A = this chain, B = another copy of it.
Amino acid sequence: MSEKRKQDIQRIKELESINLARDEIRDLVVQTKMEVEKDNEQLAQQNNQEMKKYSIKSIDIVGAIGAGKTAIIEKIVEALSAKYRILVICGDITTTVDADRIKQHNAETIQINTGRECSLNAYHIHQIIKNKDLNDYDLLFVENVGNLICPSDFTLGTDKRITVVSTTEGEWVIEKHPMLFKMSHVAVINKVDLAERLGTDIQKMIHDAKDINPDIEVITTSAKTGENIDKLIEILNL
């Protein structure tokens, strides 16, 4: 292996964990991460302008696996498919399970399989919108990869971000993911129908969300029973 290649590999190893970076390289690592985010941010803005040009409203939904992202999108699409022409982009590392579920409710769906990447980024969305005729849609939903950590590194260019947590994830789930709630417009606390049985302290969750981001809208829902889905649609101005 050439010396150059060894150096490249060493550098990238250090990026895997900033704690492991040598002092003399740490600045570069930090600056690079900032550059990557700036680039993503620019592309996200471009995505947003493109969608605005065609009057498409856009919302992305973040949450852990099983929080109820797909179920919430299903309920919303069911309620709104007569009013809007809807496109739903679903991110997952593998399978087309979510897109297949949503497709049944009269929305066009696209599944992105990220392989090992734990979040969608603005490039994924860019690839799709540049290959679609945006005249055909009024409303875009993006369901991110089921993960509460990685998506906080990347905006996608949507108008609003919803973060969904569920009462089954425990009352610490919001406190443990401050970055994500800082960048979200709406916090959905789903599966309220189970809260009593589980003894989950919903008040603490609401308080944590507001504490992290005073501007965030917090709503409790049950995608299963449909509770408050109409209210969520109202909050989203749809």
CB atoms of A17 and B121 under 8 A apart:
yes
Instruction: Report if A79 contacts B (CB, 8 A).
Output: no
CB atoms of B18 and A32 under 8 A apart:
no
* Distance (whole angstroms) from the CB of A17 to the closest CB of chain B: 6
Instruction: Report if A23 contacts B (CB, 8 A).
Output: no
Cβ contacts under 8 Å, A94 to chain B? 176, 178
CB atoms of B13 and A173 under 8 A apart:
no
* Distance (whole angstroms) from the CB of A50 to the closest CB of chain B: 19
Knowing A66-B169, A169-B66, A197-B197, the reply to whether A146 touches B176 (Cβ < 8 A) is: yes
Cβ contacts under 8 Å, A28 to chain B? 5, 8
Cβ contacts under 8 Å, A16 to chain B? 36, 121
CB atoms of B65 and A173 under 8 A apart:
yes
A residues 105-135 near B (Cβ < 8 Å) are 115-118, 121, 123-124
Instruction: Report if A41 contacts B (CB, 8 A).
Output: no
Count, chain A residues at interface, CB 8 A: 56
- CB nearest neighbor in B for A70: B170
- Per-residue 0/1 for A203-237: is the Cβ within 8 Å of any B Cβ (1 yes, 0 no)? 00000000000000000000000000000000000
Identify the A interface with B (CB < 8 A): 5, 8-9, 11-13, 15-20, 28, 31-32, 35-36, 39, 64-66, 92-95, 97, 115-118, 121, 123-124, 145-150, 152-153, 166, 168-170, 172-173, 175-179, 191, 194, 197-198
Given A5-B31, A64-B169, 19 more A-B residue pairs with CB atoms under 8 Å apart are: A9-B31, A16-B36, A18-B115, A64-B65, A65-B169, A66-B170, A94-B176, A95-B172, A95-B175, A97-B172, A97-B175, A116-B149, A116-B152, A118-B150, A145-B149, A146-B148, A150-B150, A166-B168, A194-B194
6 sample A-B contacts, Cβ–Cβ < 8 Å, listed by A number:
A8-B28, A9-B36, A12-B12, A64-B64, A65-B176, A146-B148
